[in-house]
Amino acid sequence: MMAKKNILITGGAKRVGAQSVRYLHAQGANILLHYRASKDEAVALADELNRQRPDSVRIHQAELQNINALQELANAAEQVWGGVDVIVNNASAFYATAMGEVTDSQWDDLLGSNLKSPFFLIQALTPILQSRNGCVVNIVDIHAERGLEGYPVYSIAKAGLVALTKILAKELAPQIRVNAVAPGAILWPDHDLTEQQKLEIQAKVALQRTGCPDDIAKAIAYLIYDAEYITGQVITVDGGRTLFS
């Protein structure tokens, strides 16, 4: 069992976020689980984990691109169990945007969810994190480095989140560490991919398989608990995908 931490995870109700909640909870953490629209999933996950350890998970709904709602989440995070020690910026919008057809609202949505919201959440919680020698883990993407064709705005947003990770590691040192995890092929996206497309993606992975959500959760846990001399870094968890063009 690791030392108890109070952890805020954004977008923690589904997919990789939900498994990260389960994994970190199993290490003894208290979790403030943020969700936007997935109330049923958030409630079910909180109930499941609170049955294991009472009052160890609380949920908070917020549209993070609404600065007032974001501040309300930050206020809750300052107070819960005496204050958060960790922010995991996991919430993310992800969808294709064809060049020549990108709209202003798509730009604002993708940059807002992937870059603006993490920045302002970190800024709002800097005082409590400083007082607790806390840390931040941003969930970026291997396509921040090499853009995903057909997803230019998303790729730009994640590249910005990598830049945010590195500059805030300087700005917030020495009290707060800021790092990131860059997943590769972990879970297939919600939109359909053909079996041929999946095979083509796996063929470009050195380990010849997709990862699993626990691979990301373990990397997050490492950066929280065991990386006391690491800041401003991106851990790539992609089975060797970025070794290939």
**39 φ/ψ angles, rounded to the nearest 5 degrees:** -65, -45
Which uninterrupted H or E stretch holds 33?
strand 30-35
Examine the residue annotation and report whether 154 is marked as an active-site residue of this protein: yes
- d(C-alpha 177, C-alpha 36), whole Å: 26
Beta bridge partners, 135, equal: 86, 177
Q: Which of 95, 154, 222, 229 is catalytic?
A: 154
Q: What count of Cα atoms within 13 Å lies in the side-chain half-sphere of residue 130?
A: 12
Contacts of 164 (CB under 8 A, 6+ apart): 115, 118, 119, 138
SS3 7: strand
- d(C-alpha 196, C-alpha 199), whole Å: 5
- d(C-alpha 157, C-alpha 91), whole Å: 13
Listed residue (185, 189, 176, 191) closest to 231, CA to CA: 176
Dihedral angle sign, alpha carbons of residues 92, 97, 102, 105: negative
> Would you please indicate which residues are annotated as catalytic (active-site) residues?
154
